[in-house]
Structure 1
Amino acid sequence: MIEVQNLCKNFGELEVLKGINQKIYKGEVVSIIGASGSGKSTFLRCLNLLEMPSSGTILFEGSPLYDSKTALLKQQLLQLDPKKQKEDVAAIKKELVASKASDRLYRKSLDKKLNFYRQKMGMVFQHFNVFPNMSVLENITLAPIQTKKMDQETAQTKAKELLQRVGLLEKADLSPAKLSGGQKQRLAIVRALAMMPDVMLFDEPTSALDPEMVKEVLDVIQSLAQSGMTIVIVTHEMAFAKKISDRVLFMDGGVIAEEGTPQEIFENPKNIRTKEFLSKVLAS
């Protein structure tokens, strides 16, 4: 469903993602774990281009969402000796000019593609990002009406069905300010689901919640997983990741240092950094 090839992301001179290759299959639940600063959230945000990659390829359902070799060519150029490898330097510079021109053309056509792909990839953030000036129901119906051109009655009916599913139907007419943190996050999940996405991306959805509110959000995510939704989740909830995941990716220093089943990662990790990370977080 999603394929990533040699994905790189730089912020200035800082390399945050260093050539990631990964496939996410339809119906899979993939948890991404790792220390802060390991590139987890950046990788997730690159999947639907909330962060623009520096280079690499992202395919969604077989179609290219992003494709650029610019950063990779720059890196290759730095590794060459301009005095001893003049022909190689000249060839890469020529290819780099062509890649930059291709990038410019791609960015011009990106807006139309993004609207289409983002309807298929729902995203839920750490801090809810709900609209405070709208009611709960209006938060959910806005995007289907605006982007899918759904009529208001249909949008409201679907929104109420989703609110019923997560136990928030009685809150439909309230302002988000009157919701608890857990309720706001459930609203954020419903808002994403209202677009009927094929994939749900979760960026540490419980990290901003009080401990007693975490379970209500995790229960909703688990029910989505059990329904067959494709899910990619960045999380610090190790027990939850072990329980619901088909695969777990451990990120360290901008790369996927280890991946495997929950049993392989949590019970028999091979990588020394995976072992160190888990020994710290599971002991706390």
Structure 2
Amino acid sequence: MGAGTTGGSSTAAVVTTVGAVVVAAAVLVTSLAVDRAADAVAPAVPGPPPDARAEPLRLPPDVVDPGGYTFVDTGPGGQPVRWDPCRPVHVVVRPDGEPQGGRAALGAALEEVGEAAGLVFVVDGETDERPDPARRLVDPRRYGERWSPVLVAWSDAGEDPRLAEAAGLAGPAGYGEGSRRRWVSGSVVLDAPWFAENLPAELGRRRAEAVLVHELAHLVGLGHSSDPFSLMSPTYQSVYDLGTADRAGLARLGDGPCEGDAGRRDGDAGT
């Protein structure tokens, strides 16, 4: 998918099968311009948060790069759109229908993907926000003068019909253009009944954890892999762990500049 623009809002779903479980990546491209049209008092682009730093909060590991991975979105020179590695990725959880063991499984998946991508996830707490493909990038009444935190919502097909054919949906939301485009928010929607059915048993738990990691990798910006032994493969069955290509793609997503240096990308001399 191309770099996109900040002049509109769209959602595209990419369906994949992992361990005979259908999951999907929803690419969310939203703009503050749309928010302003809907709400005349919407704020300007938020300033740096108090927990932003001048250096990356965490470095991705050195990994072998076999290629074979893709990104949700790319900018000039084919460089991936990234989260700012110098800011935590804040997360809120809508707990309605959350299955037993769901929060622990989510926490473990956040840590696994964060470590692989060199990103720090911070769970701020719970919310009553409903999942919405047209979710605002900035929602001052709910979250204050900042980018809306990533929403992880336990849901079902009655609330989100897309879950009739998917165990989960996830995608980042971006702002900016060209080399300065960044992921700043996003959503993960999980089919609570499916997870409630799978988490109690060992094999089902592994399948559920794989779906969580797959969806969070999409949230970070990783697309599907051509490696059939990859967790991010759209066709391979019964894969429960991140593969070499998955880890290489996640490491590239975490190996970017801080927002103040967003005009520079890996491989740039910085002149």
Q: TM-score, normalised by structure 2?
A: 0.24
Which gives a bigger RCO, structure 1 or 2 (Cα 8 Å, sep 6+)? Answer: 2
Structure (1 or 2) with the larger CA radius of gyration: 1
